[in-house]
Structure 1
Amino acid sequence: MSNDADRNPYDIVHPHARTADEVLAALRSSAAGLSAEEAAARLAAVGPNRLPEPPRDGLLKRFFKHFNDILIYILIAAAAITAVLGHWIDTGVILGVVVINAIIGFIQEGKAEEALEGIRKMLSLHAHVRRGGEWSEVDADKLVPGDVVRLRSGDRVPADLRLIEATNLRIEESALTGESVPADKHCAAVAADAGVGDRFGMAYSGTMVAAGRGVGVVTATGAATEIGRINRMIAEVQTLQTPLTRQMAEFSKILSVVIVGLAVLMVVVGTLLHDFPLGEVFLAAIGFAVAAIPEGLPAILTITLALGVQRMAARNAITRKLTAVETLGSVTVICSDKTGTLTRNEMTARHVVTRGGEYEVTGTGYQPEGHITLLGERIVMHEHAHLQALIEVVAVANDTHVAHEDGQWKVTGEPTEGALRTLAGKAGFDAAAHERHAAIPFESANKFMATLNTAPGGTRRILLKGAPDRLLDRCAEELGEDGSAVPLDRAYWEEQIERLSSEGLRVLAAAARDVGDDKHELEIADLDQGMVFLGVIGIIDPPRPEAIEAIRSCHQAGIRVKMITGDHAGTARAIGIEMGLGSAESLKVISGHDIEAASDEELQAIAQDCDIFARTSPEHKLRLVKALQARGEVVAMTGDGVNDAPALKRADVGVAMGIKGTEATKEAAEIVLADDNFSSIERAVEEGRTIYDNLRKAILFILPTNGAQGLVMLAAVVFGLTLPLTPVQILWVNMVVAVTLALALAFEPAEPGVMQRPPRKPGTPILGRIFLWRVALVSVLIGGATIVMFEIELYLGMPLDVARSMAVNTLVVAQAFYLFNSRFLEASSLRAGLLFGNRAAWIAVGVLVLLQLAFIYLPVMNLWFGTAALELRHWLAPLLIGGGVFLAIEAEKAWLRRRR
């Protein structure tokens, strides 16, 4: 419990393990409830029944945190020095770049964390409470421990309750437990160490009453409730940096050290070796720092990710945080919830067993489309009296309705009964003509439902459906192969029930008997004689077919998929086998109890080796994600319930379901699936890998620009030469190349076989040794050519502004040629089909030409940047140099391919 809960004088340890009377006594309450005065006093002591507001960063803090980067600090320092030296145009341009970068980051930043607000939306607004012996409706936030609350079908549970009364009470707890069917509730105590899903005497805040009614005493409110505990877990979970941000931070540190070190070296060499004036040397050092810093990289990084977000949205994956797009591409493990993610969260009858044979049922969900087959052959219904008799029972003794609304088939009532209604629809059976005279509703104590009906032919019958063991106890006969009643073969039916249960199916049975027309009432005693057992039905929440294929693709891509569910081990194992997570012989299931007992070190080994975890709590899911991350895995976690939210927040990338997911889950996640489909995750991983490839291409393209410029400035100072470029000219080259040429690389399509290669190892640098060699090679080629071009022009008597304009053109044109080298990291670009495969590259070159013409020929640009108009012949040399760079890099790529 939190400190708030510890200060609560009405805190009860393990109320589920105590009897209702013991809990009432401990809370100093009674079945008549509290008095109004006592309730008011307790409200003052424990506070309102709502969750605390989360702290939020202010607007200015969120904006200025985008300046928190070591490379940005260097640029700000450079701007300050140019201001001291009186070079105000340089100062304005540098600061403009810094501010634009921060604005882009601020605009593109994902929404602020709102997971706690999402959970608050789950809480009930009103409650039926008994105070002073009288029932009344009050605001739910006025509830206090000791209040007696009434629950009815359709209510949202307003606080944590220990049940005092329960009549046919079933509560939908999937948001907390992950179970696909509502939990039966009763008033008996359970073991102290029972999980949330096994605490049958408790009703938890935020869950929904699916059927029946009940009365309970409030044991916890606000932050002390089970949902409040999960709320605290979300608030306390530390999110990790994404692989990309970690790599970029490391890259920035190394680059900043190199830049500052070389700038200092330039100052020392320029002043001591060449006796340059201090102001001139400082300007040269600033020019070098501006040249070496890839200030266009944050913008191109953001734009590339934003384009990826758009492409993912078209594939039903809505991204809330930009960096999550790339993180998906580096995922090594996907931990998935079962219900609603790998499965449809729609119960479906799959098998029917009678003495007439074992029938298979096709189709999934509540849509009444599918076939019933026997030995692979589609049946004709009137030829199968056994099946007809069984379907009559499950369809008529049924209070649930299935209807087509808003383009979807929806169930009103019990999901299991909805599956039986759908089965009847597939069989063409209409229950409307059966007149009901009496009924015994389902109760968790009995686990069956019975009705007295008259069929269209006038036959009056008792129809009984429910738990197989309860029905077998009440039947002495079964419907034999010839259609007559024969002695019950209990061993046979128990074998069938065990077989279906071992496959993860929920098994229901049906029985019936004829009665006279004078029978009008129905009592439990009427079910103890003459009932004839008809058969059993196996029901399951079926896997999504597309999810099975997606898991296969993930395995091919070297990504492991693990199922973490609150459902029972048998169900999880059966679904896991069907999903392709393992074979029946090899697949192991680890339970929440095993996770609880394991140390952190033991859990790391368990999490690595096992792929299915059942009966898990929110803490278990969170521990499993941490255990995998401790082993160096990059983890994606999917889910739809509040119980998934802490693990989603902790995972490297959290993926929530958009249709059936809770608001809390969506707000805790970085990515929301619009179609609740696991296959969309697989497609998003492919997109993430493509984005990472394109980022590498952009970085591999941008760095030689900065390397060449830095080399030009460094060489000029070391060898005592005139500076070929000014700081503002360097900034021009950096920005126009980044926003035109580098941007084109964001539009590159996926490389062939992107989902056939293993995920990159966590910690692998963005640029390996081979690519660092290429950066150095291109920097020397372009930088060296620029210096030579500048010195030749000066030697030929060209004015300084003309020579510098030629140097800028050489840099820009060579980069335009190098763009086509960078479109393929290793493959050759000397193929017409590939050379013209990205239209954006040619558009970018066209825009760059227009910008460069403005830079050279517009008088205002000449004034701002110190350039001069060039003659037509001055463009020839840069074009030749660019072509030479292109051919040299293609030769280097061919040499590397041969070495491999």
Structure 2
Amino acid sequence: MGVATIIGKIGLAFAVLTFLVLVGRFLVTKANHHEITKWSSRDALELLNFFAIAVTIIVVAVPEGLPLAVTLSLAFAMKKLMKDRALVRHLSACETMGSACCICTDKTGTLTTNHMVVDKIWICEKTKSIQTDDDKDLLMPSISEGVHGILLQSIFQNTGSEVTKGKDGKTNILGTPTETAILEFGLLMGGDFKTHHIESEIVKVEPFNSEKKKMSVLVSLPDSSRVRAFCKGASEIVLKMCDKMLTSDGKEVPLSENQRQKITDVINGFACEALRTLCLAFKDIEKTSDADSIPDSNYTLIAVVGIKDPVRPRGQGSYTGLAIEGPDFRTKSSQELEEIIPRLQVMARSSPLDKHKLVTQLRNVFKEVVAVTGDGTNDAPALSEADIGLAMGIAGTEVAKESADVIVMDDNFKTIVNVARWGRAVYINIQKFVQFQLTVNVVALMINFISACISGNAPLTTVQLLWVNLIMDTLGALALATEPPHDGLMKRPPIGRNVSIITKTMWRNIIGQSIYQIIVLVILQFDGKHLLKLSGSDATKILNTFIFNTFVICQVFNEINSRDMEKINVFKGIFSSWIFLAVMISTVVFQIVIVEFLGTFANTVPLSWELWLASVLIGAASLVIAVILKCIPVETKKDGNTAKHHDGYEPLPSGPDLA
């Protein structure tokens, strides 16, 4: 990580400078006392101590906690997402999703429920909206029992699906989504699959053909000299085959041109509501020598059925962008694509190459971080090309899952948004930790360097610096990297590509807090005895302990300040993160133990309650400093491509819909 390398190099430079200054002052002192040629073991230990301080500064400066914070944050998010029905296959995908500027998503099964249902039906010149909680006899008041029976016959006889009972007693339908929708409607109407098959014997079947766009069946009627043909298929095809229609009392009347036009208008109206339309028709045939052939004309129209895949409860949202079809998209030049893509919101009838081309353009030309959802084998190229691929766990193929970074176990777009939410939390948590660590780094390096240059010794000993390093790295990473996401994260614009992790806002907070702490610690270092009214043989040890204690307490409050880099109220939601509270309490408890009981080991002496209170007040003052700093406006530079692409939309989710 580039940030860790830069911080490490700066720490190394300060360590070398501190060592050279300490050694230089030591040699000048010996020269002044004419002892430059006289060396003892005490002098060797002094030089060794200088070297230990320099090494400790390097240890403190090198942010080994940064990779730990990243890994902790990613692992924590990965575990939480597992509970939210998202399987993260690649750990880095969590952070990448937090930077996503654009989500290219399939409509079917992601934005929708992937469960087709009958939404509307036209029958006997009347249109009826269908609700699953309606009474099973919902059409009976408007049609006769005879029409009702023929409708159910056309549904259960002319189908390639099966209705079975599971071990749990639930009804299961095996078949295509369209067939399943019609059979469910038939069951809702009070029909029974087995009963209709027992009553009538199937004579001949003509399966669905993509060229003819219809399927037909010939059945023998019980106790009758006739057979009955049922036809079901594309509305425009079946309607042309009909010359009669059923009335509400069950009579067959000729289909006039005026009535045909009205039915066509109904079909077009269903289509405008994004419904897939099918026509159901029948024809009675006398039992003759050619009665085993399925006719292609002179049918009687039963009904027009409108089927849809309902949008998930999150709602459709507003459509304000550009829609384009795949064949039209692939003919556009590069210049035309640059003008179209920023406004593109829907791509219909797209091929795998269209999806791949769109993702490539978004990544390479517009420099956006692109997430793609898919479920089919043909989605694999787009899933692989994207910065983050999200495969559907229920409807998705194995090829799609292998090409993806995240598998959405419930095929729900809400889960995808949740992945983005946690991804943003990961990124923000890493930024919080970097801000906290850099503040500690700057203060620790500067106070030791300034003190070494002026007084010839470092106020913080090796053991004390190592304890600070533990607070700064391990405990800091544990506290800040596991903060849960909040709703405000989704109101921010996406982060985008090639953006520095250290923002101007972070620099403002780092520099401001560092200046405050350095000023306080330098004043205590050189005038602390007078300010604190310390005297006696232990005055120096008490002062050094007080400086160490104040420095640590400042970092405790600085860690609280780092919970939010922009908002003033840093205590909001603090009780929702028990890990953060546990780390804070542990840090304070261990600090008390080190100061009060580990004097020989840590070079400390017990402090009075007045000095403890003074340390806490100085540390708490950083909360006030943070409020003042956050009132200072900081110019934020937004990525032009991202702002252009998301103009008029919610920051997330948005982007093209690969239909």
TM-score by length of structure 2 reads: 0.79
1:314 equivalenced with 2:83 (yes/no): yes
Write the letter of the residue equivalent to 1:286: V
SS at match of 1:755: helix
Cα distance per residue 1:104-147 (max 9 Å; x no partner): xxxxxxxxxxxxxxxxxxxxxxxxxxxxxxxxxxxxxxxxxxxx
Q: In the TM superposition, what are the counterparts of 1:194-273 in structure 2 within 5 Å?
A: 249-266=1-18, 269=21
- Cα distance in 2 for partners of 1:603, 1:813 equals 57
- State the one-letter code of the partner of 1:632: K
Cα–Cα, structure 1 residues 305 and 876, in superposed 2: closer, same or farther, change >3 Å? Answer: farther
Of residues 333, 339, 357 in structure 2, which corresponds to 1:623?
357
Q: Hey, what's the Cα distance between the residues in 1 that align with 2:204 and 2:449?
A: 93
Distance in 2 between residues matched to 1:686 and 1:788, nearest whole Å: 44
Give how far 1:655 is off: 1.6
- Partner in structure 1 of residue 34 of structure 2: none
Matched, 1:348 2:117: yes
Which of the pair has the greater relative contact order for Cα pairs under 8 Å at 6+ separation?
2
Partner residue in 2 for 1:286 = 55
Distance 2:193 2:290 in 1: 20
Change (3 A) 1:356 1:773: closer
> What secondary structure is seen at the aligned counterpart in 1 of 2:621?
helix
Task: Tell me how far apart the structure 2 counterparts of residues 301 and 528 of structure 1 sit (CA, whole Å).
Answer: 67
Q: Which residue of 2 aligns with 1:440?
A: 205
**Paired positions, count:** 602
Per the alignment, residue 326 of structure 1 pairs with: 95
Amino acid at match of 1:338: K
C-alpha distance in 2 between matches for 1:804 and 1:898: 34
The answer to whether structure 1 residue 400 and structure 2 residue 161 are counterparts is yes
Asked if the contact 2:480–2:580 (Cα under 8 Å) also holds between the matched residues in 1, the reply is yes
User: Cα 1:402–1:756, aligned 2, differ >3 Å: closer, same or farther?
Assistant: farther
- For the Cα contact (< 8 Å) 1:637–1:651, is it kept in 2? yes
Distance in 1 (alpha carbons) for counterparts of 2:335 and 2:216: 49
1:370-409 per-residue CA deviation (whole Å, 9 max, x = no partner) reads 6689xxx876476475455334212222231134648786
Q: After the TM superposition, which residues 574-613 of structure 1 pair with which residues of structure 2 at under 5 Å, given as runs?
A: 579-580=316-317, 582=319, 587-591=322-326, 593-613=327-347
Residue 535 (1) aligns with residue 303 (2) = yes
Structure 2 match to 1:471: 238
Asked if the contact 1:639–1:648 (Cα under 8 Å) also holds between the matched residues in 2, the reply is: yes
Q: Which residue matches 2:657?
A: none
Partners of 1:751 and 1:431 lie apart in 2 by 50
Give the letter for the 2:409 counterpart: A
- Aligned residue type for 1:421: L
Counterpart code for 1:810: T
Name the CA shift for 1:355/1:759 in 2 (closer, same or farther; >3 Å).
Answer: same
Larger Rg: 2
Counterpart in 1 of 2:584? Answer: 845
Aligned amino acid, residue 580 of structure 1? G
Percent identity (aligned)? 28
Q: Does 1:819 align with 2:589?
A: no
Query: Which residue is equivalent to 1:462?
Result: 229
Structure 1 residue 301 corresponds to structure 2 residue 301: no
Q: Distance in 2 between matches of 1:473 and 1:261?
A: 86
In 2, the alpha carbon distance for the partners of 1:835 and 1:801 equals: 36
Out of 362, 366, 369, the position equivalent to 2:131 is 362
Would the alpha carbon gap of residues 890 and 667 (structure 1) be closer, same or farther in structure 2, given more than 3 Å must change? farther
Q: Report what 1:145 is aligned to.
A: none
1:475/1:528 contact within 8 Å kept: no
The whole-number CA distance in structure 2 between the counterparts of 1:412 and 1:727 is 72
Residue aligning to 1:689:
424
Q: Retained in 2: the 8 A contact 1:706–1:734?
A: no
1:591-632 CA distance string (max 9 Å, x none): 1x3343334454343322211123333333222122112313
The 1:352/1:628 distance shift into structure 2, 3 A limit, reads same
Deviation at 1:337, TM superposition (A): 1.4
Answer whether contact 1:381 1:388 (CA < 8 A) is retained. Answer: no
- Superposed CA deviations along residues 495-523 of structure 1, whole A, max 9, x for unmatched, are 4444434544433222223345x569743
Task: Answer yes or no: is 1:514 the counterpart of 2:266.
Answer: no
Compared with structure 1, are the counterparts of its residues 378 and 870 closer, same or farther at alpha carbon in structure 2 (3 Å cutoff)? farther
Three-state SS of the structure 2 residue aligned to 1:486 is strand
1:775: which partner in 2?
510
Aligned partner letter, 2:206:
P
Once the two structures are superposed, residues 445-465 of structure 1 have per-residue CA deviations (whole angstroms, 9 ceiling, x without a partner) of: 543212213259998533232
Partner of 1:712: 447
* 1:334 and 1:635 in contact (8 A); partners too: yes
CA apart distance, 1:707: 1.6
Preserved CA contact (<8 Å) 1:439 1:452: yes
In structure 2, distance between residues paired with 1:664 and 1:798? 73
Opposite residue 744 of structure 1, the aligned amino acid is: A
The one-character-per-residue Cα deviations of 1:221-258 (angstroms, maximum 9, x if unpaired) are: xxxxxxxxxxxxxxxxxxxxxxxxxxxx3433543453
SS of the equivalent of 1:441 reads strand
Q: Distance in 2 between matches of 1:878 and 1:707?
A: 24
Q: After TM superposition, give the deviation of residue 682 of structure 1 in Å.
A: 2.0
TM-score (norm 1): 0.60
Report if the CA contact (8 A) 2:550-2:618 is conserved: no
- Secondary structure of 1:611's counterpart equals strand
- How far apart are residue 335 of structure 1 and its match? 0.7
The answer (yes or no) to whether the contact 2:371–2:389 under 8 Å persists in 1 is yes
Match of 1:871 in 2: 606
Distance 1:497 1:503 in 2: 10
- Residue 825 of structure 1: SS of its match in structure 2? coil
Unaligned runs of 5+ in 1: 1-248, 364-368, 549-578
Structure-2 separation of matches of 1:660 and 1:440: 30
Residue 411 of structure 1 pairs with residue 181 of structure 2: no
Instruction: Tell me what 2:468 maps to.
Output: 733
8 Å Cα contact 2:221/2:227 also seen in 1? yes
CA distance in 1, matches of 2:218, 2:565: 72
Secondary structure at 2:278's aligned position in 1? strand
1:648 to 1:798, Cα distance in 2 relative to 1, 3 A: farther
Q: CA shift at 1:775, angstroms? A: 1.3
Partner in structure 1 of residue 313 of structure 2: 546
After TM superposition, the structure 1 stretch with the greater mean CA deviation from structure 2, 767-776 or 498-507, is: 498-507
| Residue pair 1:829, 1:890 contacting (<8 A) in 2 also | no
> Match for residue 235 of structure 1?
none
Q: Does 1:450 align with 2:223?
A: no
Aligned counterparts of 2:402 and 2:535: Cα–Cα separation in 1:
65
Counterparts of 2:183 and 2:475 in 1: how far apart (Å)?
Answer: 60
SS at match of 1:815: helix
Superposed counterparts of 1:37-52, under 5 Å: none
* Counterpart-to-counterpart distance in 2, 1:486 and 1:275: 117
CA contact (8 A) 1:656 1:665 kept: yes
Q: CA offset at residue 678 of structure 1?
A: 0.7
* Compared CA separation, residues 281 and 646, structure 1 to 2 (3 A): farther
Once residues 570 and 412 of structure 2 are traced to their aligned partners in structure 1, the CA distance between those partners, rounded to angstroms, is: 41
